[in-house]
Amino acid sequence: MSNSIIETVQLCYEYTLGGEKTLRALDNVSLQITEGEYVCLIGPNGSGKSTLARHLNALLLPAAGDVYVDGLLTGEEKHRWEIRRRVGLVFQNPDNQIVATTVEEDVAFGLENMGIDPPVIRRRVKEALELVGMSTLAQHAPHLLSGGQKQRVAIAGIIAMRPRCLVLDEPTAMLDPRGRREVLATISMLNRQEKVTVVHITHFMEETLEADRIIVMDRGKIACSGTPAEIFSGELDLESLGMDMPAIPALARALREGGLPVPPNTLDVDQLVDYLC
């Protein structure tokens, strides 16, 4: 408990579909995320990933069970804003989360909401923009930026608030390959260099290989969790959950099935090359 930054205890959530009908989006989800960890959350559409993400900073409140952020209970009204400062959420559509008409104003938005002194805001905005590599475009209008740049601005807006944990809900889904690379590099730099805890929800299996831990969700439950090597070792039937294996582990598995004993923790090209040559 002491070093877990986020903890959910038997978290349940239901959406009302109108009338009597409800849809159980989260079903007894219990998980702990340790400070400084890089966790990837994967799973098919409708498996409850985004619903879970929105519970992590009190945008949604549990129907049953509890969510703790840094020991604070999200259900308690008085903790709400402190929780939202400590856990920042980045959303899928880069356009729909930028509020202001210039990059630096947008990064300042969260800090302004927190009522921080203007000179401090200015300094933190500058730092955040430098961190994501967007300082040169500080005065730009957001609609003139590329998707990857917009998403980095959104990340800077969160980082400026100095959160303990960064939750990203499919941040690369709407980006081109280049934008995706930029955003991924930013995320892993923040995790490594700035020691920010990262919860990264994604559909792209290749993006999960750098994670410390992968959590697979299915129909509102945690189907399994483990290191990338464990998840992609081939013992788990990801295809039945509607997901693909990343290319290299898939190849390794095919080779294994063909009789070549490739070790199950082969995740990237270098490791495969090392083994084969």
Partner 1 sequence: MSGMRSITLGHYLPGNSILHRLDPRAKLMGLLILIAALFLIKTFSGFFYFGLFFVLTFVSSRLPWRYFMRGLKPVLYIVFFTLILHFLFTKGGQVFWRFGPLTIEENGVFLGSFMTLRLILLVITTLLVTLTTSPIAFADGIEFLLRPLRVFRVPGHEIAMMMTIALRFIPTLMEESDKIRKAQMARGADFESGNIFRRARNLVPLLVPLFVSAFRRADDLAVAMESRCYRGGDNRTKMRQQQVTCLDYLGVFTTCGIAAAIVLTGV
DSSP conformation class of 246: P
Residue closer to partner 1 (CB basis): 162 or 219: 162
Residue closer to partner 1 (CB basis): 109 or 232: 109
122 class by beta-carbon count within 10 Å (0-12 exposed, 13-18 middle, 19+ buried): middle
With CB under 8 A as the contact rule, the residue among 143, 177, 237, 240 that binds partner 1 is: 143
Asked if residues 263 and 232 have their Cβ atoms less than 8 Å apart, the reply is no
With CB under 8 A as the contact rule, the residue among 11, 26, 98, 238 that binds partner 1 is: 98
What is the CA angle 243-265-169, rounded to 5?
A: 40
**Region binding partner 1 by CB under 8 A among candidate stretches 63-71, 154-162, 200-208, 240-248:** 154-162
* Minimal distance, residue 107 CB to partner 1, in Å: 9
Alpha-carbon gap, residue 85 to 165, rounded angstroms: 9
Residue closer to partner 1 (CB basis): 107 or 272: 107
With CB under 8 A as the contact rule, the residue among 158, 184, 198, 214 that binds partner 1 is: 158
With CB under 8 A as the contact rule, the residue among 48, 62, 147, 157 that binds partner 1 is: 157
Structure tokens at 51: 């619903």
With CB under 8 A as the contact rule, the residue among 37, 104, 182, 210 that binds partner 1 is: 104
Is 99 a binding residue for partner 1 by CB under 8 A? The answer is yes
Q: Binders of partner 1: how many residues, by CB under 8 A?
A: 40
Is 78 a binding residue for partner 1 by CB under 8 A? The answer is no
Q: What's the Cα-to-Cα distance from 130 to each of 2, 89, 182, 273, rounded to whole Å?
A: 32, 20, 14, 36
* Minimal distance, residue 16 CB to partner 1, in Å: 17
Residue closer to partner 1 (CB basis): 6 or 238: 6
Site for partner 1 in 44-73 (CB under 8 A): 54, 57, 59
Asked if residues 171 and 151 have their Cβ atoms less than 8 Å apart, the reply is yes
Is 81 a binding residue for partner 1 by CB under 8 A? The answer is yes
Alpha-carbon gap, residue 199 to 202, rounded angstroms: 10
Q: Which residue has the tokens 């998980």?
A: 31
* Minimal distance, residue 116 CB to partner 1, in Å: 6
Q: Quick one: CA torsion of 13, 213, 34, 194, rounded to 10 degrees?
A: -120
Q: What would you report as the CA-atom Rg of the chain, rounded to the nearest whole angstrom? A: 20
Alpha-carbon gap, residue 180 to 177, rounded angstroms: 5
Is 112 a binding residue for partner 1 by CB under 8 A? The answer is yes
Residue closer to partner 1 (CB basis): 112 or 274: 112
In which element (H, E) is residue 40 found? strand 38-42
Sign of CA dihedral 98, 100, 105, 109: negative
Is 84 a binding residue for partner 1 by CB under 8 A? The answer is yes
* Minimal distance, residue 102 CB to partner 1, in Å: 8
Site for partner 1 in 244-273 (CB under 8 A): none
Alpha-carbon gap, residue 85 to 129, rounded angstroms: 18
Interface ranges with partner 1 (CB under 8 A)? 54, 57, 59, 81, 84-85, 88-89, 91, 93, 95-102, 104-105, 108-118, 121-122, 125, 141-143, 157-158, 161
